[in-house]
Chains A and B, each alone.
Chain A
Amino acid sequence: MAPTESPPLPPIAGEEGLGGVGGLTTPVRLYLAVAQRSFRRHLAYRAATLAGLFTNAVFGVLIASVFTALYRSRATEGGGERIAGFDVAEMLVFVWVGQSLIMVLHLWGWWDVAQAVRSGDIVSDLMKPFDFYAYWLSRDLGRAACHVLVRFVPTMALGMLLTDLALPRSPLRWVAFAVSVLLGLLVAFAFRFMVNVSAFWLLDVRGVGYLAYSAVNFLSGFLIPLTFFPPWLRGIAEALPFRAMVMLPAEILLAKRPVAAALGVQLLWAVALTLLARAVLNRAIRKLTVQGG
């Protein structure tokens, strides 16, 4: 249901990302500079962006068509207008939100940290006077901000152009949605980071990674809303953090859930996964110092 490989971006060398900002004293300004740099760099990949938008458009229309057919088939079988709690218009929103969020959350194929581990660059990165996790998170936030601009917004516009997508108008809901996406991104980043850091222990991080990303596709609600799941599977999915990435933001936008509760769940997962990811990183560093890599 999704392009299996997102456009690869050229790897970004560690020092390149920091050149010229090393002299800054306050860490916040450092991370801000890192994020800005990352934002600008991703803004420059214009050909990849256009190609990605085209792919989003094809897949968006494709998936939207399948769901529309599902509603039509349901009608001929005499069923109700709602399927799994969504009517067809809401389902279109759901489909296009998913397509638009792919690159913002970077749901597939992010291996930057794993590459740094493989190449050994991580050793010098770890010795630099900044927080390794915060550094990569800043980069990812910068990247995501850029992708909101060049991927999220245009993909939504394409959805309106190519299908009967009608977006909610309430500005408050969009604000809540934005906060929710940000929290979802924190969860997504922590998860991706852990997958990458597993390169310290695993010979083939990609094998595990694909399996992990595949699980995310399914359990986040990206492929299909979790409300389609049978109760037992839904119970599992709702106990896991992945729904914080797509399902909860989409439900907030569609006013399917009390906003505060949903954001609370996301915040909890964001904090928990961030702490977990940092703990995993610390274990990895200890392994590095004990065994020398």
Chain B
Amino acid sequence: MGSGDGGEPMVVARGLGKTYRVATHRGGALGALRGLVDRSGRDVRAVDGVSFTVDRGEMVGYVGPNGAGKSTTIKMLTGILVPSDGEATVDGLVPWRQRKALAARIGVVFGQRSQLWWDLALVESLDLLRHVYRVPKDRFAINLAGLRDLLDLDPFLATPVRQLSLGQRMRGDLAAALLHDPAILYLDEPTIGLDVVAKARVREMLARLNRERGVTVLLTTHDLADVEHLCRRMIVIDRGRLLFDGAIDELRRRFGPHRTLVIDLEDGDPAPAAGPFCPGVDWVRADGPRRWLRFDRDAVPAADLIAAVAARHRVRDLTIEEPAIEDIVRRIYTEGMGTP
């Protein structure tokens, strides 16, 4: 879909950095006026030497807590912001130098802010964007037909945007971002504010989009469930620095070595609430007849453990829980990378 060489990565960032100058706070209006002239202040390193690549067709989650530098990175990769240092190309273009050329090849969805015209019907909004992006008429017709099907737009295509539900609006915004066949789609909080059903719907559509159309997606979100559902790979950033870049399974293995076996016991079974079960396995929690056994994924094979538990206790039911990505990432933020 992109115009660049199919072999080269879609996104290349090398040592990308952004330093903001934050005016030292002055109280009141006089301070604000002085701030106009006097630009002294302290430097804040919002993004600090971030390097990564995104291959064509990949769907990557770019996550971090508020103020971690996520949106600053995205702004640099969309050409909105000029970085202080480092290099980057997107589909072979340097974003901040070739902003308009790049803009024709990228799609951007801000979950917090629709790019549709509030008072116009969705289809009219899309038609206006056709002119903004200079999409040829026949191409537009083909793309719109495809998007109507993929995003199920027909029920509200003629509805004014202000009357759409949040989920419908998001689907409309996705259509708006895809009309011009972008090579890469930046999604910023695409499920924010959506209810569970709408969230699932949007996720499913995003997955299809990536799978069937091969659109490269860079997904920024604070809802890690989005990433868990959609991405195989994840980049974690905090305080401007890249903390992790790799497969989500890998993240689990490195930072969440413990899995949990959840057991429902028959009445009267004397399993303890806490304490060792065997080397590498501990009782960690109890709630009525339910017990939690934590075990090391590398040291203890799950099948062996289940057999051992079943041999000693009367088990009615059991499940294995993977550590929630959310917990792992929170641990990374608070404890740092350490040595796994």
Q: A-side interface residues toward B, CB under 8 Å? A: 46-51
A8 CB, nearest partner CB in chain B, Å: 16
Question: How far does the alpha carbon of A51 sit from the alpha carbon of B33 in the complex, in Å?
Answer: 11
Q: B-side interface residues toward A, CB under 8 Å? A: 28-30, 32-33
Q: List 12 A-B contacts (CB under 8 A).
A: A46-B28, A46-B30, A47-B28, A47-B29, A47-B32, A47-B33, A48-B29, A49-B29, A50-B29, A50-B30, A50-B33, A51-B29
- Chain B residues in 8 Å Cβ range of A47: 28-29, 32-33
Interface of A (DSSP majority class): helix
Interface of B (DSSP majority class): helix
B92 CB, nearest partner CB in chain A, Å: 46
Task: Known A-B contacts: A47-B28, A47-B29. Give 11 more (CB < 8 A).
Answer: A46-B28, A46-B29, A46-B30, A47-B32, A47-B33, A48-B29, A49-B29, A50-B29, A50-B30, A50-B33, A51-B29
Question: How far does the alpha carbon of A49 sit from the alpha carbon of B32 in the complex, in Å?
Answer: 13
Question: How far does the alpha carbon of A77 sit from the alpha carbon of B299 in the complex, in Å?
Answer: 108
- Chain B residues in 8 Å Cβ range of A51: 29
- Chain A residues in 8 Å Cβ range of B30: 46, 50
- Chain B residues in 8 Å Cβ range of A50: 29-30, 33
- Chain B residues in 8 Å Cβ range of A49: 29
B156 CB, nearest partner CB in chain A, Å: 24
B56 CB, nearest partner CB in chain A, Å: 47
Question: How far does the alpha carbon of A48 sit from the alpha carbon of B32 in the complex, in Å?
Answer: 11
Question: How far does the alpha carbon of A158 sit from the alpha carbon of B29 in the complex, in Å?
Answer: 18
A151 CB, nearest partner CB in chain B, Å: 14
- Chain A residues in 8 Å Cβ range of B33: 47, 50
Q: Which residue of B lies closest to A46 (CB)?
A: B29
Q: Which residue of B lies closest to A48 (CB)?
A: B29
B216 CB, nearest partner CB in chain A, Å: 41
Question: How far does the alpha carbon of A46 sit from the alpha carbon of B31 in the complex, in Å?
Answer: 10
Q: Which residue of A lies closest to B28 (CB)?
A: A46
Question: How far does the alpha carbon of A44 sit from the alpha carbon of B30 in the complex, in Å?
Answer: 13
Question: How far does the alpha carbon of A168 sit from the alpha carbon of B282 in the complex, in Å?
Answer: 89
B33 CB, nearest partner CB in chain A, Å: 8
